[in-house]
Amino acid sequence: MNPLSGTTLRAFLSAVQIQERVAALGQQLTHDYGGTNALHLIGVLKGAWVFLADLVRQVDLPVTCDFIGVSSYGKRTVNSGVVRLTLDLAEPIADLEVVLVEDIVDTGLTMRFLLETLSLRNPRSLRTCTLLDKPSRRIVPFTPDYVGFTIPDYFVVGYGLDLAGAYRHLPYIAICRPSDSSEETAL
């Protein structure tokens, strides 16, 4: 069965709201890292690439970027609880000021895995920035350093976030209700 058939979307965060908040996050990063030579942003694939692309243009500092890939959802709307690395960094991060850029934090499992993995590589500092934070879904304690929006327990798509690979292209974020009611949704 096609996971997208019968899916309904309801606008949640507009493109304007997102761009205003991304600009504010870029200004905060510029302020916080203003005394450093460079900032290294690591985008978590696949969901964070749209957010990272906009964020990097809002940081008024020398910035380098890399990507790391993880998977914990697959084609489902609920986290599987198993995080696996699908793509590693291209360059070492030892002695760099690193900010891990994520699209959404919910259970905290992915962030714990990534922070444990990246801290072993000896960055000078390691912080986190997420566009969306769903603290009501936490399984492991975690508080992101930079948060775009704190949201209720909705399954959302758009602006890089997807359902089975679809909807990443939307310039806004929408609440998604899949037609398969056996999947847990937060509506």
In a domain, 185, yes or no: no
What is the per-residue pLDDT across 55-95, written as a single tens digit (0 to 9) for each? 999 999 999 999 999 987 555 555 556 788 999 999 999 99
Q: What is the pLDDT of residue 185?
A: 36
| Pairwise CA distance, residues 107 & 120, whole Å | 22
Look at the pTM and tell me if it is higher than 0.75. yes
Taking the CA atoms of residue 161, residue 163, residue 164 and residue 167 in that order, the dihedral angle to the nearest 10 degrees is: -70
What is the arithmetic mean of pLDDT over 19-38? 94
What is the per-residue pLDDT across 128-177, written as a single tens digit (0 to 9) for each? 999 999 999 999 999 999 999 999 999 999 999 999 899 999 999 999 98
Residues 6+ positions from 36 with CB-CB distance below 8 Å: 61, 97
pLDDT band per the 50, 70, 90 thresholds, residue 107 = very high
| Pairwise CA distance, residues 73 & 127, whole Å | 23
Our count of domains for the chain comes to: 1
Residues that are catalytic: 106
Give 185 or 137, the one with higher predicted confidence.
137
| Pairwise CA distance, residues 63 & 83, whole Å | 28
Amino acid at 79: N
In a domain, 169, yes or no: no
In a domain, 161, yes or no: no
Among 168, 152, 164, smallest CA distance to 103 is for 168
In a domain, 98, yes or no: yes
In a domain, 144, yes or no: yes
Amino acid at 73: Y
In a domain, 187, yes or no: no
Q: Read off the tokens for 146.
A: 């930079």
In a domain, 19, yes or no: yes
Q: State how beta strands 8-13 and 63-71 pair.
A: unpaired
- Is the pLDDT at 179 greater than 90? The verdict is no
- Is the pLDDT at 1 greater than 60? The verdict is no
Q: Residue 101 sits in a domain of what CATH number?
A: 3.40.50.2020
Tell me the residue range of the domain where 119 lies: 15-154
pLDDT band per the 50, 70, 90 thresholds, residue 182 = very low
In a domain, 171, yes or no: no
